[in-house]
Structure 1
């Protein structure tokens, strides 16, 4: 029997592929978020049929270790960041709770006049100064989020010069400016990665992304910042606790 006509139900071959793939994933031969070799090449490497390989990959997918992307092949699953239900936590806090290393690379930081809609939402005068910070956030060096934050400059004194590499913005705000964020009005919608997001997140153009937009307020319920975050679709989950009115 040749490799090509081996029956799909060959249990030992599937178990072999499953075991060998598990070892390779444990050793991080392929980085989280990266594409696996093509099925033909991978089946040949493991010495099994493509049908057996697909069964093993399907089992790993059910365990959340790999996932299929239509027309693009198989990918190693990226560690997922999720927002705890009804709890405001920073990207850094969420990552560390999962035993992951949060990273942050500053793309730009500049002071500029607020746009009209920004000034309305932040309750400041039109064209008042804001500080815009753009960063790529990652987990264990894998980029998973591209965020642009707009802060009221007068409420974020000191952030213009602080090194924000691999640092939590919430924690830095409290340490440097004495501002503690306590509430966030958050919305999220699905989208497709444009050229910029694809380049920064290391994904193909058109890949699924989740866009989160929020306005965050301090301990006095005063708006402090606006943030727009673009997450890889395979690396982020938003959770919420919903309540039905007793009436």
Structure 2
């Protein structure tokens, strides 16, 4: 078992099997690593406990993606989180458009109904592995530079700060859901796979709302950390 574990762990370290990819079938994988199938199964179980691989019912074994870990008390961009983990944040721009704000958006952004907003949708990745479908809605009067800026591999927070908009805090909520067909295709997961949806309103230093964000994360790529304190009676 140790030999099989070591052989497979080293193959994962060398990125022979990219993050998020499906491993070969047991027979082919055992032959490739030069181990028995029984030893391979024990090794896979050990690597699953370590969080490096995971089994998908009737679909085989998959390499775990690099995980976004977000402490609740610290507001950081996706780019900053990736950099702290030694990874490269990537972004593929899907849509960018100017449109009227919906009534709910106008209320949350504290602007007049139907005020113009900039909507940006991107697929965010870690080392080119897609982990998040990110949609951001910004007040156009404060984000005109983003209408033409290069967004493929830039942090929106950093771009805003370059134009004098300094982010202070965010009101953030998260809930679990299942990936629909569009999201599943973009994140390269089966339809119905678990996803975690984070929604936020972000404010600047003057406590004015700047943007609304909605991020849909692969369930195997996101961890929310919290320190909980018991109140005194």
Deviation for aligned residue 1:117? 0.5
Query: Does structure 1 residue 194 correspond to structure 2 residue 197?
Result: no
2:61 counterpart (58, 65, 74): 74
> Over alpha carbons, which structure has the higher Rg?
1
Gaps of 5+ in 1: 1-13
Deviation for aligned residue 1:31? 0.5
Q: Could you say which residue in structure 2 is the equivalent of 1:106?
A: 93
Q: Which shows bigger deviation, 132-141 or 199-208?
A: 199-208
Query: Does structure 1 residue 36 correspond to structure 2 residue 23?
Result: yes
Query: Does structure 1 residue 116 correspond to structure 2 residue 103?
Result: yes
Q: Could you say which residue in structure 2 is the equivalent of 1:237?
A: 223
CA distance in 2, matches of 1:154, 1:220: 16
Query: Does structure 1 residue 181 correspond to structure 2 residue 154?
Result: no
Residues 186 and 214, structure 1, Cα contact 8 Å, conserved in 2: yes
Deviation for aligned residue 1:147? 0.6
Q: Which shows bigger deviation, 76-85 or 222-231?
A: 76-85
Deviation for aligned residue 1:165? 1.2
Query: Does structure 1 residue 211 correspond to structure 2 residue 210?
Result: no
Deviation for aligned residue 1:232? 0.7
Q: Could you say which residue in structure 2 is the equivalent of 1:62?
A: 49
Deviation for aligned residue 1:47? 4.2
Q: Could you say which residue in structure 1 is the equivalent of 2:40?
A: 53
Give the match's secondary structure for 1:17. Answer: helix
CA distance in 2, matches of 1:78, 1:95: 13
CA distance in 2, matches of 1:173, 1:47: 53
Gaps of 5+ in 2: none
CA distance in 2, matches of 1:245, 1:157: 45
Residues 86 and 241, structure 1, Cα contact 8 Å, conserved in 2: no
Q: Could you say which residue in structure 2 is the equivalent of 1:22?
A: 9
CA distance in 2, matches of 1:62, 1:186: 30
Deviation for aligned residue 1:57? 0.6
Give the match's secondary structure for 2:147. Answer: coil
Query: Does structure 1 residue 163 correspond to structure 2 residue 156?
Result: no
TM-score, length basis structure 2: 0.95
Deviation for aligned residue 1:179? 0.6
Deviation for aligned residue 1:28? 1.0
TM-score, length basis structure 1: 0.90
